[in-house]
A and B are shown apart, each in its own frame.
Chain A
């Protein structure tokens, strides 16, 4: 495990090898046997799930949990808890209004599941912080806006009321301000905006729509001494380049993206190429095939990392183990 190398790579410094990061997600609950729900609702289970995955797969950096509903829950969304997946939101507090949530609702350490997450982070920091880079995920402003607003964000706001959408994004960025302070205070080395809905925004609209809110969050993470990242799924090369322009230090994206490392390098952004959840779910052969594709596009080099996840709950143990071995080998 190489925390130092991981942080060097995230900063685009010479790391000597290509480190790898793991986002175990709810799969950590499968490893310890507590299940997908308990690993996100119980501080001890969250910490034990992390530590078990760390011991088993030995990555250089790890996300301490993966759940993009933490903020939404604090802001009034009810959650549905599947047995084999992370939770999803059931309702949208801004669905029937043109107004904004009050700032008194912005998350504090006492809200939602933060009383679970923060003690888990502190325990993980103490047990693993010396040799594993610790990454805290915050739901990205756009994905959080989707959760708060629901369908009308797509049918009305994106086309007709970008001003209101900007207000929501502004609010979501303020939620991120609060969380990043708490997470960095709990010892996290890097904070990543996890934004699975970003792939639905056309590349040419990303800058005008997202620059103010995302840049502010990234700048504040950096000012507080941690490394700001962005995690997107299913994005195109053009979207990746547009996202680099928002000013993160590093971007984690899954699947093959020809030219991604070069595009990221142009913006001085570290690129973490991730094995997708789909490939991990498909079995060891699928994961190996995707890794081959990634390698063809991206020779291991300074300023990049390998990654895997979020690992689906249903992924087979041998697949994850084989992928972890292969990613570790890649880095040597």
Chain B
């Protein structure tokens, strides 16, 4: 047995204290941790079970925004009527994520922290070189099969794609990740790999996601999430886009637009270039097409993932056109 100690935390405070110890991982839905333990990537010395803690699965929507407890299940958030009404892109992203079984188990906090599907990351026995697993060991993907790897936000150390869908929608609508007393804007929560791809987010040892909030906005209310993938269910995005739009009173001029990309970048990718190009402009298909190309500014491909550079702007364009027609 690979032995580890197991602590069933009695409170958030106890969980946080325990999580401060080295080589400690929190266990919520278990869909990522158990998977990674089986393939030899996760090898914690201590597992702190928080799955049973009460009061952390609240889903509440009011005039200010949405409050989603870290232990709320993906499937419950997806079907929440107020989320569907105020933040349709969030619900749609959850519906299209993972499988029904995983959505029923996985927590919202854990969902944000899911690890990449990079095949080299997930097979340590065959591919010892992985800067994300072992800093400084190299990257097996750079010269390998890169069809699913990132074209945005990569570095010489890592091109692993952030795999999630929900975080893409949250990034579009300026969600905030609450770490107990501290809170971090979601765009700052996820880190670019740079030279430290082992650091994926801004959490410090002893911190734990307790909730996510999403501020209410007209754009969030008029939003959509489009996910393009090889298979129609239970599959990660080849490219995805979360888009929200608000119009001026004339019903034509874009007053607010939010665009974020998934499946193509090392972190949930806010496409501010697209937003800046369209904000204040009239909603018009040719302008949308032109602006959508800005989504992949700075993209670098590694051969097999070149198609993502072609695909991502088309997904953005489709999502903007669809959202604009609804708004």
Q: Do A and B come from one complex?
A: no
Report A's interface with B, CB cutoff 8 A: none
